């Protein structure tokens, strides 16, 4: 179902990809093979990186799963940076496969809710209820805080990029109109 304003339109298809507008015939008929390939390739890279980190930094039985916490928090921070750069970052439109490859694929494969849930369950099964609850709460706070902080810092950097390059973007801020 598609939306116009706040009311659904019966029988209309809803876009799965936010970059696709089903009201545009060319986008509605666009084959999705390239997007699927980009997501799959990115996912293989992200999941491989996550797996590699977990091999380098394994969690011993009954110990706090720091690697998974770090992976999820850093992945969320990178998602915050990516989304700001894609949506607010520049004058040129990013490649249409950047979000599916980097956001959904690489970073979606890198971050891991399933391992987070399994680590939580493992800690409970090992009688480490305090660690399990601390891990559950800390992961959520770290991941949400990371995406917010990274997006905020990136947004600030993008906004101030023009003034650092000597352009007039942002010039005279707060000074009112300039008489010539």
**pLDDT tens-place string over residues 14-45:** 445 566 666 777 766 666 889 899 999 999 99
Residues 53 and 74: beta-carbon distance below 8 Å? no
- pLDDT at residue 12 in the model: 45
Comparing 82 with 96, the larger pLDDT belongs to: 82
72 has pLDDT over 50: yes
147 has pLDDT over 70: yes
13 has pLDDT over 50: no
Q: What confidence tier does 160 reach under pLDDT thresholds 50, 70, 90?
A: confident
Percent share of the chain, pLDDT over 70: 73
Residues 136 and 120: beta-carbon distance below 8 Å? yes
Give strand ranges (E) for the chain.
2-4, 7-9
**pLDDT tens-place string over residues 102-131:** 999 999 999 989 999 999 999 999 999 999
142 has pLDDT over 80: yes
Comparing 87 with 102, the larger pLDDT belongs to: 102
Q: What's the distance, CA 122 to chain centroid?
A: 27
* DSSP-derived 3-state class of residue 170: coil
């Amino acid at each position: 179902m598609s939306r116009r304003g706040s009311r659904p339109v019966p029988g209309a298809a809803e876009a799965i990809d936010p970059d696709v507008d089903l009201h545009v015939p060319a986008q509605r008929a666009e084959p999705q093979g390239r997007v699927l390939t980009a997501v799959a390739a990115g996912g293989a890279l992200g999941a491989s990186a996550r797996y590699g980190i977990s091999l380098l930094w394994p969690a011993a039985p009954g110990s706090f799963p720091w690697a998974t916490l770090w992976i999820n928090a850093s992945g969320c921070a990178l998602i915050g940076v990516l989304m700001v750069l894609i949506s607010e970052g520049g004058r040129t439109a990013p490649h249409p496969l950047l979000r599916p490859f980097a956001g959904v694929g690489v970073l979606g494969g890198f971050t891991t809710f399933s391992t987070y849930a399994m680590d939580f369950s493992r800690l409970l099964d090992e009688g480490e209820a305090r660690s399990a609850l601390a891990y559950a709460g800390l992961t959520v706070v770290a991941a949400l805080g990371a995406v917010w902080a990274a997006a905020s810092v990136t947004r600030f950097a993008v906004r101030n990029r023009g003034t650092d390059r000597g352009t007039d973007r942002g010039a005279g801020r707060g000074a009112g109109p300039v008489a010539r």
